[in-house]
Structure formats: structure tokens, C-alpha cells
């Protein structure tokens, strides 16, 4: 049975880790698509100011970008699984490579045109999406695109670029992509470790912003409070607090800044309706705009402290009193016995025995 329990626990932790990795990929894709939307508006503004060689080409490319942004957001709204999110990332990356190639092909007149910096965005996108390996691969592709554009533009001006200039562009973009990817990979490793510790903990670990809205919570919330993670994320942290310590409004920034870390005990409402006492360690991080709380269920200790019987006094010997007399020990126990309990009977072999009188003189 122990082996089965260990295997089940390992399977559950593995499932939680995979779920955390998937949530991280989804958040990464959402961030990338937010920046792609920003790039769409920036490109439209730039197209009005500088239409490059052909304005029709600029607006056609921006239209294709708009379609891809809408399609990606529609796909993200359908809550894609791990395989679907990987395919979406690969398709989006390939489409962005094509769009940037079209932008570069529409600006071939001026060798000093800053549009030659666009391939750097591909290296950054690949690094954010796939880490160090992705940064190196997309950096190499982006470097080749930038070097090819430079060679073509200079050739149209009858200028031959030295090979060292071409290779330098490629190597520089690869290094930039590799550095960004290495940083992203290191951050992801730290986040994965933190997620594993958080998911495996039996304590409640929750974070809320400076408005009091719950942002993250670990799976222990279901065992302690009865609510799932999806039910708690997005709610106000004061909704489940009972008693006089119930927070009124958002956290007090001045108090958090002055007191720093705090240790409190608060009473919460369980989903089943009963109350739960939690011992909380509050750790504010005002620079990031979050407050972290680690809670342990101390309801049993609270109940023990509230209902602990008074200390019993030591018994005193009662000499000279017959057992069962009103003032004797047996009489006292008989007086304390509940009325509904049946009377105790002596065994038959005791009832048949008679105490012999003590001979005089002894």
C-alpha cells in the first residue's frame, strides 16, 4: 500500500508540474500576441509617415498581420491544450518571419533605413517562446535576413559589402538571440522550481495584488478551504475572512511599508460552511506590487485551546468515612454520575462474601 501511495503522489505532482508548464506557455503566448497587437498599431502609424517603396505593399502586409492577430486571439480564447499551444506558437513564428521578409523587401532604396532592425524582433520572439535554443535558431535566421537585406540594398547602390560586414551581422544577431534565450531559460528554471515547491506544499500559498485581488494560489486551497484554484483566482482576498479582522478595502500601503513581514491568525469560511483558522505569514513585495501569504490550518489547536478542561485538583484521602457514604469518595462519585446511567452491580462472587468481624484485642 505504501508503494501505491508513493506512486499516486508522484503521479499527482507530475500532473501539477505539467499543468504549471502549460499555464506558463499560455501566458507566454498571450504576452507575445499582446506585443504583436502593439506592433500592428505601431506599423500602421509608421506606414502613414513612411510608406517605404510601395504603400500598397505596406498596407497589405499590415492587413495580413491584423488577420493573424485576430486568428491567434481567437485560438487563445478556446483554451488550447499543450499540443495546440505549441502548434500555434510555431505557426505564428513562421507567419512573422514571412511578414518581416515582406517589410524588408518593400524598403530596398536606402542602406541606412532603420527597417533593417526588424529581424531583431524575430530573435527576441524566438527566445521568449523557446528559450536559449529558440533564441539561437531564430537569431541565426534573423541574422541571415538582415545580412541579405544589407547586401541587396548596397548592391543596388553599386556598393560591394565586405564579407566581414555580412558575417558580423549574422553573428551579432545570433549572440543577441542566445543571450535573451539563456536569460529566459534561467528564469523558467527558477519558476519551475518554485512551482514544484508550491504545488507540493500542504500549506496554503497565495498572492494578491495591492488592490486585494487574488492572483495565484496553490492546489492546497482545495484541501484547506474547499475551493479550487479557478474559484479563488480573481476574487477579493477579504471575501472569505470572518470576524473583526476582516479587511475593509485594499491593503494599506503605508502599513505594509512600515511593518513589513507580519504573522497573523485569521478565521476563514470553508466552502462547506464551517470556519477554518489559518496562521498566516504575510510577505509584502511592494516593488513588484504583490503580497504573498503562507497559511497553515490551526483549527485543531484553536479548538483545543478554546475547549481545554480546567486542571484537575489532586484527590485527598477521606479517612473514617464508609465507602458509599454521602461524604465519602464513592458517594461523591455517585453524586457526579449521570442519572440516566444504570447502577453498577457487584459480581456474584463478591455479593456472596461477608466481611468477617475483627476479633477483639487485635
Q: How would residue 334 be classed by pLDDT, with cut points 50, 70 and 90?
A: very low
pLDDT for the residue numbered 295: 92
**Backbone conformation region of residue 320, classed left if phi is above 0, alpha if psi is from -120 to 50, else beta:** left
Q: Return the half-sphere exposure (C-beta side, CA atoms, 13 A cut-off) of residue 72.
A: 28
State pLDDT tens for residues 110-164: 888 888 899 999 999 999 999 999 999 999 999 999 999 999 999 998 888 888 9
| Distance separating alpha carbons of residues 214 and 113, to the nearest angstrom | 47
pLDDT of amino acid 199: 83
Average pLDDT of the residues of the chain? 82
What is the arithmetic mean of pLDDT over 256-281?
A: 87
C-alpha cell at position 121: 524582433
Question: Rounded to whole angstroms, how far apart are CA atoms 16 and 280?
Answer: 24
> Tens of pLDDT along 115-130?
889 999 999 999 999 9
d(CA 263, CA 227): 23
pLDDT band at 348 (very low <50, low <70, confident <90, very high): low
65's grid cell: 498581420
Coil vs helix vs strand at 206: strand
Sorting pLDDT into bands at 50, 70 and 90, what band is 232?
A: very high
**Is pLDDT of 306 > 70?**
yes
Q: What 3-state class would DSSP assign to 333?
A: helix
Consecutive H or E run containing 40: helix 2-49
DSSP classification of residue 331: H
Residue, of 11 and 318, whose pLDDT is higher: 11
Three-class secondary structure of residue 54 per DSSP: coil
Residues in the chain: 362
How many CB atoms are closer than 10 A to CB 113? 15
Q: Which residues, 6 or more positions from 135, have their beta carbon under 8 angstroms from its beta carbon?
A: 123, 126, 127, 177, 178, 179, 180, 181, 182, 184
DSSP string of 79-106? Answer: ---HHHHHHHHHHHHHHHHHHHHHHHHT
Expressed in angstroms, the distance from the first to the final Cα of the chain is 68
On the question of pLDDT at 32 being above 80, the answer is yes
Mean pLDDT of 198-220: 89
- Which pLDDT band holds residue 356 (cuts at 50, 70, 90)? low
Measured distance CA(306)–CA(292) in Å, rounded: 29
Q: Between residues 82 and 311, which one has the greater pLDDT?
A: 82
Residue with cell 483554451: 79
Between these two residues, 249 and 98, which has the higher pLDDT value?
Answer: 98
**What percent of the chain is modeled with pLDDT above 70?**
81
Q: What is the pLDDT of residue 252?
A: 75
Report d(CA 22, CA 37) in Å as an integer. Answer: 23
Strand pairing of 262-269 and 275-285?
Answer: antiparallel
Alpha-helical segments (H) within 106-202: 119-156, 163-200
| Least reliable range by pLDDT among 231-240, 287-296, 320-329 | 320-329
Count Cβ neighbours within 10 Å for each residue of 143-175 and write b for 16 or more, e otherwise: bbbbbbbbbebeeeeeeebeeeebeebbeebbe
Mean pLDDT over residues 65-88, rounded?
Answer: 92
- Check pLDDT > 50 for residue 347: no
Amino acid at each position: 500500500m505504501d508503494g501505491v501511495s508513493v506512486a499516486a503522489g508522484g503521479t499527482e505532482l507530475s500532473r501539477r508540474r505539467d499543468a504549471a508548464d502549460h499555464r506558463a506557455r499560455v501566458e507566454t503566448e498571450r504576452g507575445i500576441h499582446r506585443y504583436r497587437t502593439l506592433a500592428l498599431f505601431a506599423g500602421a502609424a509608421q506606414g502613414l509617415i513612411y510608406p517605404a517603396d510601395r504603400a500598397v505593399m505596406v498596407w497589405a502586409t499590415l492587413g495580413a498581420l491584423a488577420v493573424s492577430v485576430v486568428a491567434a486571439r481567437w485560438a487563445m480564447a478556446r483554451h488550447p491544450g499543450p499540443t495546440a499551444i505549441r502548434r500555434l506558437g510555431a505557426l505564428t513564428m513562421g507567419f512573422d518571419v514571412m511578414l518581416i521578409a515582406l517589410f524588408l523587401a518593400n524598403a530596398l532604396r536606402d542602406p541606412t533605413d532603420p527597417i533593417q532592425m526588424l529581424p531583431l524582433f524575430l530573435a527576441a520572439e524566438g527566445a521568449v517562446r523557446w528559450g536559449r535554443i529558440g533564441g539561437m535558431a531564430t537569431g541565426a535566421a534573423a541574422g541571415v535576413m538582415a545580412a541579405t537585406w544589407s547586401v541587396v540594398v548596397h548592391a543596388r547602390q553599386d556598393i560591394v559589402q565586405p564579407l566581414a560586414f555580412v558575417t558580423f551581422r549574422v553573428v551579432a544577431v545570433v549572440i543577441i538571440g542566445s543571450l535573451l534565450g539563456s536569460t529566459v531559460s534561467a528564469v523558467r528554471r527558477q519558476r519551475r522550481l518554485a512551482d514544484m515547491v508550491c504545488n507540493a506544499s500542504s500549506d496554503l500559498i497565495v498572492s494578491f495584488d495591492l488592490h486585494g485581488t487574488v492572483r495565484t494560489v496553490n492546489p492546497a486551497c482545495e484541501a484547506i478551504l474547499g475551493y479550487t484554484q479557478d474559484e479563488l483566482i480573481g476574487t477579493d482576498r477579504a471575501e472569505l475572512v470572518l470576524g473583526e479582522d476582516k479587511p475593509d478595502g485594499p491593503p494599506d500601503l503605508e502599513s505594509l511599508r512600515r511593518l513589513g513581514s507580519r504573522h497573523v491568525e485569521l478565521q476563514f469560511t470553508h466552502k462547506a460552511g464551517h470556519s477554518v483558522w489559518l496562521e498566516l505569514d504575510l510577505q509584502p513585495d511592494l516593488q513588484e506590487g504583490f503580497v504573498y501569504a503562507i497559511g497553515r490550518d490551526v483549527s485543531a489547536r484553536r479548538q483545543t485551546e478554546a475547549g481545554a478542561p480546567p486542571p484537575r485538583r489532586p484527590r485527598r484521602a477521606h479517612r473514617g468515612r464508609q465507602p458509599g457514604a454521602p461524604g465519602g469518595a464513592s458517594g461523591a462519585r455517585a453524586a457526579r454520575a449521570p442519572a440516566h446511567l444504570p447502577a453498577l452491580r457487584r459480581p456474584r462472587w463478591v455479593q456472596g462474601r461477608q466481611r468477617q468481624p475483627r476479633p477483639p484485642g487485635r
